[in-house]
Amino acid sequence: MMKKIICLLITGVMLITSCTKEEELGDSLIDTSTPQLNPIDQWIRDNYTTPYNIEVKYRWDDSELDNSRPLTPPEVDRVIPFLEAIKELWIEPYVMHGGADFVKTYIPKLIVLVGSHNYNANGSIVLGQAEGGRKITIFDLNYMEEDDKELLKSLKTIHHEFAHILHQTVTYSIEYQELTPEYTTTWFNFSNKEALSKGFITPYSMKSPDEDFVEMASEFLMHSKDDWDALIDGIQVYKLDEYGNPIFDWTTFTYVIDEEKTNKAKSLLREKQDIMINYFLQVWNIDMYNLQEEIANRLP
């Protein structure tokens, strides 16, 4: 009994001491006040965070980037014009043809903006990155010119990275990658014309099946229907001589077209197009033809 009383007394003393020390700690050092927003922050909150649950980081945050690369933040006067453009050309079309719930669910919750180029060891430039469906990083903001060329390049990158997020969520048919299995890590050695002649929409699409699929989607959405059809229907593969050079017909003053390879290249791209179109329709209930037209009507 005496031991129980002693234990209770010790416990009571400890509790009193603990309470006394807690009272002496003073105010918390953690700042729980609402941060003051500058005009850019407020614009982002009104146009991205509140309606679409998207956070945008434009200030330097090395926890979001590869510290082994010499990257720099964007110039602040470029942030809102860029965000306005991709909202009009990317987010709003998907809202119209995929639905607000689709956008809120699958659009990346974080967009990181970087001002500088992001170079690879082989000299190629990374225009954007998608990570686990949560984040898209866009580079090159400081190099966007007034003629909209760089803006359109970044828009294509965003379509490319968003397509990555979608196929990482629900994959596309394995039939797609079986159409052109000749993927290569040296894709940068091929020209656009060479890639098209092999049934790839761009040289970068030759890198892997996933890159091939998202390049098809992003290129499709960056062309009007007429321009897209002209791109594929205009493919010409020439016959080659024993040295690998195109054969020139001096009677017609034209290169000799290899009809079989030309038709094969067109057929492969149309098959890829059909698989891509069916994927978006069946999995995401998005008609890519309507989405393509919507974006084409908004492009500068």
- Look at residue 92 and tell me if it is in a domain: yes
266 lies in the same domain as 254: yes
The mean pLDDT of 11-26, rounded to a whole number, is 52
Q: Which helix (H) or strand (E) holds 112?
A: strand 110-113
**pLDDT (0 to 100) of residue 30:** 61
- The pTM (predicted TM-score) of the whole model is 0.79
Nearest CA to 162 among 102, 77, 120? 102
Edge to edge, what strands does the sheet with 110-113 contain? 55-57, 110-113, 135-138, 128-131
164 and 177 inside one domain:
no
| Mean per-residue pLDDT, 147-162 | 80
The Cα 56–Cα 82 span in angstroms is 12
221 with 163, same domain: the answer is no
Is 143 a domain residue?
A: yes
Total of domains in the chain: 2
Confidence check: pLDDT of 290 > 80:
yes
For residue 208, the domain's CATH number is 3.40.390.70
pLDDT (tens digit per residue) in 185-237: 999 999 999 999 999 999 999 999 999 999 999 999 999 999 999 999 999 99
Q: 154 with 138: CB under 8 angstroms?
A: yes
Asked if residue 202 and residue 152 are part of one domain, the reply reads no
Please report whether residue 23 resides in a domain: no
**pLDDT-derived band at 132, boundaries 50, 70, 90:** low
pLDDT exceeds 70 at position 72: yes
Q: For residues 160 and 218, is the Cβ–Cβ distance under 8 A? A: yes
**Domain containing 145: what range?**
39-169
